[in-house]
Each structure stands twice: as C-alpha cells, then as structure tokens.
Chains A and B, each alone.
Chain A
Amino acid sequence: MKAIYKKEFKSYFNSMMGYVFVAFVLLAVSIYFSAFNLGMGYPLMGSTLSSVIFLFLILVPILTMRSLSEEQKNKTDQLLYTSPVSVGEIVFGKYLALISVFAIPVLVICLYPLILDGYGTIDFGMAYLAIVGFFLLGCAYISIGFFISSITESQIIAAVISFGVLLFTYLISGISGFFADTAITSLMSFTVLLLVFCLIYYIMAKNVIASAAVFVVGEAVLVALYFAKKTWFEGAIAKVLKTFDLAAASTNMIQNGILDFTDIVFYLSVIGLFLFFTVQSIQKKRWS
C-alpha cells in the first residue's frame, strides 16, 4: 500500500495535474479570501469556502479521471493485480494519494485565518472547523470521482461522468423543490425509481423473472405502506433526494460553525461506500 501511495502521489507531481489542481484551488479560495475577508473585512472563513464549493465540480473530475482508468488503458494494472498486494490495499493507497494532493492547498488555506488574525479578532475554532468541513466535502467528492474512474478505461468519459454526477448532487436540493408535498407524488416517484432500478438490474443480470419479481414485490410493499402509513409519504421524495446533497451536510460545519458528528459520519460513510464500490468494480472486471 505504501509503495502505491508513494508512486501515485509522485506521479501527480511528475505531470502537470497535481500542480494545476493545487494552483486552481488556491487561486479560487484566495480570490474569494481577498474579496470577502481582506477587502470587505469579513471575519468568517466559512462564507469564503462555501462560495468555492462549486469549483469542486470541475476540479475533482480532473484530478480523479486518470487515477484508475489510465492504469486499465495502459495495462499497468496487470503489474498491480499480479503483485502480492490485495485490491483493497491498492484502492486505499491510490485514494490516500488523491486526498494528499487535495490536502496540500487545504494546508495552505489553514494559514489564512492566521493572516486574518493580524487585522482583528477572529474565532479560530469556527475558522478551522470550516476548513475541516471543506476538506471532508472534497474527500467525499473525490471518492465518487475515484469510483467513476474505475468503471471506464477512458479518462475523458470518467471526467464527464464524474462532472455529471457531482453536478447532480450539487443541484439536487433545487430539483427536490419541484416535487409536490403530497403523498401520491412520492408514491409515483418511488415507483419510477423502482422501475429504473429494476431496468438496471435487468441490464446487468439479464434475468427477466428476477427483475420483474423485484419490481412486483417492491411495488406491493410501496402500495401497502402507502395505504397503511400515508403520512410517511408526504414530502418523502424530497427528503430522499436531499440525502444525495453532499454539500448540504457541510453547511453546519462550514457556515454555521456547528460541529455535528452526524455530518462527519455521513462523509466517512460516503467515502467508505465508494471505496467499497471501487474494489467491487475492479473485482467484477476480473470475474467477467
């Protein structure tokens, strides 16, 4: 794992990628920092950082796109998967390297509150909590991009899909506002989601009976629940969609200065889940 971590980390700085990523994150944060904090004398780091979140949508796919897809394309994965190292270690080593690249600009940003301190009193706890929230959010986004780079050989496709997925999570709370609060809307939306899920299952497993059975059983449960506990369905679809909003979980930490462990657990779970998916997608390639 250490070998892979070192090699990956170095390779980001052997090519332009690492420098470009670090430079752009710093540039964006610094522009907002000089405008809000230095220019307008605003003492909170949170508003600066939350204004920069949108930049992840572009920068994270660029950082993660080559991580696994390039290895597949150049067949260098043959070296990794035939050496005495488990797939889990390979995935974890690579992910750590990605996070380390992201940690560099974050560490530089850690100096900014100290600069602000020279001009007045600031709340260091709040400032650093905001930076931690910013870092965690970035790590969660990176884990998604990392997973997507494992499913395709093409860097470009990986980048475009990652951008699409991140954009979706970014806009999801806005989208969820389109749905009415009534129970029947939720029931219908869940039915559509179930249908989509069964279709995907059918495409992957090529089993008509099993996917039809999943749909029928799922739909029966939904309808039964609908008639038994109608109140559960009121506004449910909006709630479900909002759980995909990764950025929302960071609002407390970044903007409000509230340390809520559920948010941290949420990010760690997202990271864990996507690393698990990555391992599975690599294993699947070996077995098919």
Chain B
Amino acid sequence: MIEVKNLVKQYGDHVAVDHLSFTVEKGQIYGFLGPNGAGKSTTMNIMTGYLSATEGEVLINGHSIFEEPEEAKRCIGYLPELPPLYMDMTPLEYLYFVAELKKIPKSERAQMIADIMKLVKITDVCERLIRNLSKGYRQRVGLAQAIMGYPEIIILDEPTVGLDPKQIIEIRDLIKTLSKKHTVILSSHILSEISAVCDYVMIIAHGKLVASDTPDNLSKLMLGSNVLDLTVKGNKTMIREMVSTLPDIDSVEVHNSAEPDCVDIVVKSPQNIDVREELFYKFSEAKCPIMMMKSSNMSLEEVFLELTNDKAPAKQEKKRTFFKKKESEENTEKENSNEGDL
C-alpha cells in the first residue's frame, strides 16, 4: 500500500530523515512514535507530497509521490499538525471547497459532506465561522477535511494535541471507526495514545526507524523475560530462601513493603515459562498469603525511552542488542545489564 524506500531529507547540514524505509499494509492503524524533532512530521510531509525528499522514494499504491503526484495524492487524506483551515470560512463552505479541490463529482458532494459532518460531529457548528470555533472543533473540521473523498489512506499528524480528555477519547474512537475502511497512519509523542489506538508501532528517533512491531511484542521483546510483582505476607529471609529454591527462576529481589508484615518480591523467569502456579502452591504450603500478584511487562513508555535515548555510543550498542534479541533469546547477561539502567 505505502512503500517508503531509503528516504533522506536534509536541511542544510541537518539530517531530518535518515535512510528511512518501511511498508504499510492495508486496513491497520499505524503509529509513528518519536520524541520531538525525531522527523515524524517531516516524514509525513514527504509522504503526502508537501515536501520533497533529498533521496529515496515513496510509493502510494504503486504511484510515486514525486513522479505521479496527482494519482498518489488522490489516495491520501492528510491532517497536518496545524489543521489547514481558513478562518474566514464556515466549516460548510470550507468542506465544499475541499470537496471541489479533491475533485469529488458535484452530484456526490452534498451527501458526502453531510455524512462526514455527522461522522466527526460538527453538523451543529457548520454555520459558524471557523475563527470562532474551539480548538477541538477546529481539529474535527481538519479531520473532516482529511476524510473527504474517503481516501484509502488517512494520515494524521498528532491528531489529539491540545484537546481535552473527553475530546481525545472521542477522536480516538473516531480513528478506530475509520480504520475499518481505511488505513490510518498517525503520529504522536504520547505513548498511551499509541498503545491505545495502534495495531502497529514504528518508533523513530533522529530520523531513523529504531523499532517496529505491535505494541505488545515491543514490550515483550524489549524485556526478554517474564517479570512478576508480588506482595506476600511473611518473613523476608524465609521468603527469599523459599523462592530461590524454585527451579526456572532467573533472579529474585525482595524489598520491604508498604503494607505491614508484608514484603514485595520481583521475580524474573525465562520468557517461555510461567511460574505463577508454582509460586502460589509454594506460598500456600508455607501459609504465606499472597496479597497481590501481577505480571509486569515493560511498558511501552520504557521501551520508548530506551530506544529513543540520546545517541551515546553505549546506547547504540543496546539498540543493536535489542534487534539481536529479536532473533535469539540467548544472552540473558546483557539483558540484566540493560535492566540495571532502567
């Protein structure tokens, strides 16, 4: 559907996008994740044909955005970071203009605009000047513009920035509805948003793609082992001995808990082995009640921080080990040293 090959964008000496390559398949929600200035918006601007690239190629449904811009642009709806709205128009006028600009046949225009206004819930403000609308409504009008003509691909650059929590949830739901019929690509530096909405995450740092996978896989892969958090009532030293006698356990940490007479335990085990049952029986034999037990995968947030950290050479090493781990799960030593940093 979208193929980005070896994309480079330079502003003078500054490399904003550095040999970026990825493909986007149909019918999923893709998330671009990266810190500020990582090159997310630049990449999106190039994909939509607003900017040109220094090197590389973008194919939209087989059409190169540089060589056949009109065919390629027809397949894309784009909501830039700042919605491109004309303040002296009403949403209705604006959407009529966009519909005509996107060459939607005259007979379909009125119906399509009415449908889209209903979808993004701006029907009741469609007669007011855009200048007088709130940020949330402006964002929706921008979104309506991107959906206009029902393009196959909808690209949204930070669609929920500056909205209140209720509006954010509404926009997220809307994006999920859209993904039933369209491929959606959205960018964000907010992790919860990406993990809540996206089927697939691409993490970009310094113009490079540092990781791409589903949100679940990313956090699993990053850690390479299962981690359990427990709170158990009982004596500290006794519990430590009890747990360490169990087979299949990599490491145990025992701390004093905030709860009286309890200890907090962090148990790490290899990824493919579930030790929860064994732990349960062991503690019940010893009459040490388990107050709380939950598995803690590394959150996407930590993965993100780890991957997008500054370009120090040591961190570069880790990025490489991350990809190695993807292939084989052998070197537990290095993982431990990784975790130490977190």
Q: Which residues of A contact B (CB under 8 A)?
A: 2-4, 6-7, 10-11, 14-15, 74-86, 286-288
Closest to B88 in A: A14
Instruction: Using known A-B contacts A4-B101, A78-B78, determine if residue A86 contacts B86 with beta carbons closer than 8 Å.
Output: no
Mark contacts of B81-105 with chain A using CB atoms, 8 A cut-off: 1 yes-contact digit, 0 otherwise: 0101111110001000110111100
* A3 in contact with B97 given A79-B145, A82-B78, A83-B73 (CB within 8 Å): yes
Cβ-defined contact, A79 with B76, below 8 A:
no
Q: How many residues of B contact A (CB 8 A)?
A: 30
A residues less than 8 Å from B69 (CB atoms): 84, 86
Check B102 against A83 for contact (C-beta < 8 Å). Answer: yes
Given the interface pairs A81-B50, A83-B73, the reply to whether A7 lies near B84 with Cβ below 8 Å is no
Residue pair A76, B84 in contact (C-beta under 8 Å)? yes
Known contacts being A78-B78, A78-B80, is A85 close to B101, with CB within 8 Å?
yes
B50 touches A7 (CB 8 A): no
Interchain nearest-CB distance for A89 vs B (Å): 10
CB atoms of B98 and A79 under 8 A apart: yes
Closest partner residue, chain A, to B99 (CB atom):
A3
Q: In angstroms, how far is the closest chain A Cβ from the Cβ of B82?
A: 5
A-B contact pairs, 13 of them (CB 8 A): A6-B100, A11-B88, A15-B88, A74-B84, A75-B82, A76-B85, A78-B45, A78-B82, A83-B73, A83-B98, A84-B69, A84-B102, A86-B69
B70 touching A81 by the CB < 8 A rule?
Answer: no
Is B48 part of the binding interface, using a Cβ–Cβ cutoff of 8 Å?
Answer: yes
Given A3-B100, A14-B88, A286-B51; A75-B73 close (CB under 8 Å): no
Ranked nearest first, the 6 interchain pairs of A and B with the lowest CB-CB distance are A3-B100, A79-B84, A76-B84, A82-B48, A3-B101, A84-B73
Contact B102 A286 (CB under 8 A): no
In whole angstroms, what is the CA distance A4 to B11 when docked?
A: 30
* A15 CA / B131 CA spacing, docked (Å): 13
* Contact of B189 with A by CB under 8 A: no
Query: What residues of chain B have their CB less than 8 Å away from a CB belonging to chain A?
Result: 11, 45, 48-52, 69-71, 73-74, 76, 78, 80, 82, 84-89, 93, 97-98, 100-103, 145
Query: Which of these, B11, B51, B89, B98, contacts A14 with CB under 8 Å?
Result: B89
Pick from A2, A86, A286, A288: contact of B50, CB under 8 Å: A286
Q: How far is the CA of A140 from the CA of B74 in the complex (A)?
A: 34
- Taken together as a complex, chains A and B put the C-alpha atoms of A15 and B89 apart, in Å, by 10
Contacts of B145 in A (CB 8 A): 79
> How many Å lie between the Cα of A85 and that of B98 in the bound state?
11
A286 CB, nearest partner CB in chain B, Å: 5
Chain B residues, CB < 8 A from A83: 73, 98, 101-102
Complex contact A82–B89 (CB within 8 A): no
A7 vs B101: C-alpha distance when bound (angstroms)? 10
A207 → chain B, closest Cβ, in Å?
15
A15 proximity list for chain B (CB < 8 A): 88
Q: Which B residues touch A82, using CB under 8 A?
A: 48-50, 73, 76, 78
Bound CA span A86–B101, Å: 11
Q: In the bound complex, do residue B89 and residue A80 qualify as a contact, i.e. CB atoms below 8 Å apart?
A: no
Assembly CA distance A110 to B267 (angstroms): 91
| A140 and B87 alpha carbons, distance in the complex (Å) | 30
Shortest CB-to-CB span from B333 to chain A, Å, is 49
Using Cβ atoms and an 8 Å threshold, which residues of chain B touch A84? 69-71, 73-74, 102-103
Alpha-carbon gap, A2 to B106, bound state (A): 13
What chain B residues lie within 8 Å of A85 (beta carbons)?
Answer: 70, 101
Give the chain A neighbours of B86 by CB distance below 8 A. 7, 11, 74, 76
Which chain A residues border B98 with CB–CB below 8 Å?
79, 83
Output the residue of B70, B86, B103 with the most chain A CB within 10 A.
B86
How many angstroms between the C-alpha atoms of A82 and B70 in the bound complex? 9
User: Closest CB of chain B to A281's CB: distance in Å?
Assistant: 14
Q: Which residues of B contact A77 (CB under 8 A)?
A: 84
Residues of B within 8 A of A14 (CB): 88-89
Neighbouring B residues of A80 by C-beta, 8 Å: 84, 101
**Cα(A65)–Cα(B70), bound, Å:** 29
Complex Cα spacing A78 to B50, Å: 6
Q: How far is the CA of A14 from the CA of B93 in the complex (A)?
A: 12
> Which of chain B's residues have a CB closer than 8 A to the CB of A6?
97, 100
Instruction: Find the A residue at minimum CB distance from B98.
Output: A79
User: A75 contacts B84, CB within 8 Å?
Assistant: yes
> Can you name 19 extra interface pairs (CB under 8 A) apart from A74-B86, A82-B76?
A3-B101, A10-B93, A74-B82, A75-B80, A75-B84, A76-B84, A76-B85, A78-B50, A79-B98, A79-B101, A82-B48, A82-B73, A82-B78, A83-B101, A84-B73, A84-B74, A86-B69, A86-B70, A287-B52
